[in-house]
């Protein structure tokens, strides 16, 4: 589905292929709606990507098209994954890149979960 300002979902994006089992992933959590796996190029001691199984291009697409229940359940699950990874104390960071200015490389909605050491400034510079 095309959403104003967003490109159409590409079913052959890397994360769609991971969801179909066509590419390997180090999965740390999965349920019927959500999968979390290690980022292939970690930027922190813990760097996990949390994704919905459903096809959304980005955070912007997700919050426009998903039901309220889907949105709430997804973000609760992000928090659950962080808890299960032992990140609640002393804390962690979540981030989602949207579109070219956001630096989004993979056009399947995902939240980055970073932790395991002090993460420093929110943005470089
Ligand atoms: P973004 O710039 O927010 O779209 O981030 C995409 C992330 O996906 C990057 O941090 C990549 O390192 C990560 N990535 C790309 N391919 C894979 C893969 N096959 N398995 C795990 N992580 C990946």
Catalytic residue among 47, 101, 108, 110: 110
**Ligand 1 site residues, Cβ closer than 6 angstroms:** 14, 23, 25, 39-41, 49, 97, 103-106
**Beta strands across the sheet bearing 46-52:** 27-30, 34-38, 46-52, 111-115, 92-95
**Residue predicted with more confidence, 33 or 5:** 33
Q: What is the pLDDT of residue 117?
A: 98
Q: What is the pLDDT of residue 7?
A: 72
Residue in the structure block whose two tokens are 């939240």? 111
Q: What is the pLDDT of residue 4?
A: 44
**Dihedrals φ, ψ of 34, to 5°?**
-135, 145
b/e 50-63 (16+ beta carbons within 10 angstroms → b): bbbebbbbbbbbbe
Q: How much is the average pLDDT of 7-12?
A: 92
| Distance in angstroms (rounded) separating the CA atoms of residues 55 and 11 | 8
User: pTM above 0.75?
Assistant: yes
Q: Residues 64-108: pLDDT tens digits? A: 999 999 999 999 999 999 999 999 999 999 999 999 999 999 999
Q: Residues 106-118: pLDDT tens digits? A: 999 999 999 999 9
């Amino acid at each position: 589905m095309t959403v104003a300002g967003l490109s159409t979902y590409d079913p052959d994006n890397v994360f769609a292929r991971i969801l179909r089992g066509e590419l390997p992933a180090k999965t740390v959590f999965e349920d019927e709606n959500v999968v979390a796996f290690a980022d292939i190029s970690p930027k922190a001691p813990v760097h996990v990507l949390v994704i919905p199984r459903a096809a959304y291009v980005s955070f912007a697409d997700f919050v426009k098209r998903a039901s309220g229940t889907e949105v709430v359940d997804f973000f609760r699950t992000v928090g659950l994954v962080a808890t299960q990874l032992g990140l609640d104390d002393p804390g962690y960071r979540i981030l989602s890149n949207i579109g070219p200015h956001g630096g989004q490389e993979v056009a399947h909605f995902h939240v980055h979960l970073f932790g395991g050491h002090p993460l420093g400034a929110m943005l470089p510079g």
